[in-house]
Structure 1
Amino acid sequence: MAPHGDKSDAAEEAMVAEAEKRPISTVLIVIAMQTEALPLVNKFNLTEAPDSVFPKGVPWVRYHGFYKDLQINLVWPGKDESLGVDCVGTVPASLVTYASIQALQPDLIINAGTAGGFKDKGACIGDVYLASDVAYHDRRIPIPVFDLYGVGLRQACSTPTLQNELNLKVGKLSTGNSLDMSPHDEASIVANDATVKDMEGAAVAYVADLLKVPAIFVKAVTDIIDGEKPTAEEFLQNLVAVTAALEEGVTKVIDFINGKSLSDL
C-alpha cells in the first residue's frame, strides 16, 4: 500500500491535470497603476465593483465584467491615501494578489504593466514582452541557499502556442522596488539575464506560486535603462503612449485565451 502522502500527491496531480484541460473561465488581471489600468477597463467594458471583496479601509480597486466567454476581474492597489500616488511596488502587489486569489478563485493571472527594457537585449520603446521567468534583483542575501531565496526565481506559466501565434517578444523579467538602478541592482539584473525590469512581477509570481494559480506576465517597455535618457524622464514621457501598446498586447492575449484551456496555451 502506498503511503498516504503519495496518494495525496497523486490526487493533487490528477486535479491539476484535469484543471489544465478545462476551458479558462475566470481571469485576474493584476496591474499597478491607474494609467495602465483604465485603457483595459474601457476595452473590456469593465465596471468598478460597488461591493468590494477586499477588507474595509484598503484603497484597492476591483473592476469586473464579462468579455466573450471570460469573466474578467482587474485589480490595482489604488492610491496612497496620504500622498495620492499609485501604490506601486512589491508589497501592495503581493497583498492585492493574495486577497484577489482568495476572494475570486481565478483560473489564470495576468500581471500586466509597463517596464524598463535593455537595448543590449533588443528591447525598444513600445515593445510588449511575455516574461519567461521572473526574479528579484534587490534581495541580496549572501548566505548559502538564502541567496537563492533572495533571488526568488520562478517560471511563468508555459505558453508556447500563445507566444508563437501572437509573435510577442519573450524575455526574462527582473523585479525591484526602485525605479532607478544602483550598481548593486545592475549586477543582480545582469546575473538574472533580464531583458525587462519592473517593480511588481516577482511579487505576483511568489503569491501565484504559493497558492498554485498559473500566471503570465505581459510587460510593455516605457524606457530604455541602458540608454542615454534619465529613466524617470523617459518613463513619464512615454507612459501614456506605451499603455496603448500594453492594452493592445493584453487584448491579443485575452482574445487568444478565450475558449482555450491552460494546456492549449
Structure 2
Amino acid sequence: MKKICFVVAMEGEAKPLIRHFGLRHIGGRFGQLPSQAYEAFYAGKEITLITNGVDSETGLDYIGCEAAVLSAHLAISSFPPDLIINAGTAGGFASKGAQIGDVYLSDRYVVFHDRRVAIPGWDKMGQGYLPCADCRNIASRIRAKLGVCTSGSSLDITEEDLEQMKQTGGEVKDMEAAAIAWVASLYHIPLLCVKAITDLVDTGHPTPEQFNDNFLLATQRLDDACFRLIDEKLIDEL
C-alpha cells in the first residue's frame, strides 16, 4: 500500500486531512471539471485526496452519487492508487446501536438503497453488493464499528428506502459510498469506507438539524480515525 487516495465529498470533511498530511492543492488538474486534487508524500506513502468541488452558482459542495462517480473516476485515472479511502459523514440507526460521533468502517459490501428495479437480476445489480476491503482486523484498534454502507441520492429516507436497507443489511446511510465503490470495482482497486455518524435516521429528529448540530464532532472523529490508519500503518494490514 504505497499509493493511497482519499475521495471526500465536502471541503469541511477534507480540510483536516489536508492539513495533517501536508497536502498541496494541484490547481487546474481537471480543467473545467469541479473536482479538486491534493497530493503529498507522507510517512512513506504517496497520498492524494480528491474532493467533489463546489457548485459555481451556490458556492456549496457538490454531494451525491453523480459527483462521487466523477471524482472517483478522475482520482483513479489521474493517480492510480493501491487503495481508495472514502472518508465522510453519514447517518446511522439507533436501533442497530449507532450513536452520534461513532466511526464505522465498511463491512462485507457496499449497496444502494434507492435503485428499485423489480426485475430478476436487475434488482440485485441495482442494489450493487459492491466489494470493499476486509478491515475486520483493524476496526477495534481505531475504536471503529463495522457496518454495511448504503447510499442514495437524498438526505431524507422513505419507507421504500428502509425496506431496501432491511433487505441488504444497510447500517450506515450516506450519499456517495456505493457510487465510489462501483467505480473502484470497475478498476479492481480495493476500497475502504470510513464514516462518522452525524444523525440517527430512526429517532424522529429532523436529519438537517442533526447534521448541522453534529457535523463538527463527527468530522473530528472521522479525521482522527483516518490519521491513525496512515500514521499507525494500519492500512498495510488490509
TM-score (norm 1): 0.86
- Once the two structures are superposed, the pairs formed by residues 10-159 of structure 1 within 5 Å of their partners are 24-50=1-27, 52=29, 54=30, 56-132=31-107, 133-159=109-135
Of 183, 198, 210, 2:159 maps to 183
Q: Give the structure with the higher percent strand.
A: 2
Q: Aligned letter for 2:166?
A: V
Report the alpha carbon displacement of residue 257 of structure 1 after superposing the two structures with TM: 3.3
Q: Give the structure with the higher percent helix.
A: 1
Q: Deviations over 1:28-65 (max 9, x none)?
A: 0000011101111111111111351x2x2111111111
Task: Note if 1:200 corresponds to 2:176.
Answer: yes
Contact kept, 8 Å, 1:162 with 1:256, in 2: the verdict is no
Take 1:202 and 1:44, find their aligned partners in 2: how far apart are those partners? 26
Q: Deviations over 1:211-242 (max 9, x none)?
A: 01111000000001111320111001111221
Alignment match, 1:6: none
Report the alpha carbon displacement of residue 164 of structure 1 after superposing the two structures with TM: 4.4
SS in 1 for 2:149: strand
Q: Aligned letter for 2:71?
A: V
SS in 1 for 2:4: strand
Of 177, 188, 193, 1:217 maps to 193
SS in 1 for 2:119: coil
Contact kept, 8 Å, 1:27 with 1:107, in 2: the verdict is yes
Take 1:156 and 1:130, find their aligned partners in 2: how far apart are those partners? 10
Contact kept, 8 Å, 1:48 with 1:64, in 2: the verdict is yes
Q: Of the two, which has the highest radius of gyration?
A: 1
Q: Is there any run of 5+ residues in structure 2 with no aligned partner, and where?
A: none
Take 1:62 and 1:98, find their aligned partners in 2: how far apart are those partners? 12
Take 1:161 and 1:186, find their aligned partners in 2: how far apart are those partners? 29
Report the alpha carbon displacement of residue 256 of structure 1 after superposing the two structures with TM: 3.5
SS in 2 for 1:174: strand
RMSD of Structure 2 on Structure 1 (CA): 1.4
Contact kept, 8 Å, 2:104 with 2:144, in 1: the verdict is yes
Alignment match, 2:230: 254
Q: Is there any run of 5+ residues in structure 1 with no aligned partner, and where?
A: 1-23
Pairs aligned (count): 237
Take 1:163 and 1:203, find their aligned partners in 2: how far apart are those partners? 23
